[in-house]
Amino acid sequence: MGHILVVEDNLAVSCLINEVLTLSGYSVQLASNCTAALQLIQANPPCLVLLDLKLPSVYGIKVLNIIKHAVPDIPVIAMSAYAELLDIQAELETGRISYILIKPFNLHELINAVARYIPLKV
């Protein structure tokens, strides 16, 4: 099983996601910005990306474009507040975003969303 890249600038949120996914049996890498995410993707492409769409200094759709340019077929789960939902609806409809987690989401919803793309081996 490959790993998951979590691109989230909020340290508390990224640590919680990391802990929950790791305890669920997934391998996780963390990036707090676009540059770190791109370096990790180029060094070892993940099987799935969890992408916060409100990163500082770079809008999430731009990060999505960079990720999709580097690895076109990678599934991306967008993490967003309801306010940004209309902005990313077109990306969901075209398939560039695979799934949307609306913040705040519960941990079961997170695990279920990830399991759609990387099933856990029992």
- Does residue 16 register a pLDDT over 60? yes
What pLDDT was estimated at residue 122? 54
H or E stretch at 118? none
Residue 53 has pLDDT above 70, yes or no: yes
Q: What is the CA radius of gyration of the chain?
A: 13
What is the C-alpha to C-alpha distance for residues 15 and 10, in angstroms, rounded to an integer? 9
* Residue 91: C-alpha distances to residues 16, 65, 76, 88 (Å): 26, 10, 10, 5
- Domains of the chain (ranges; CATH) run 3-115 (3.40.50.2300)
Give the whole-angstrom CA distance, residue 70 versus residue 65. 9
- Among 14-23, 24-33, 80-89, the range scoring the smallest mean pLDDT is 80-89
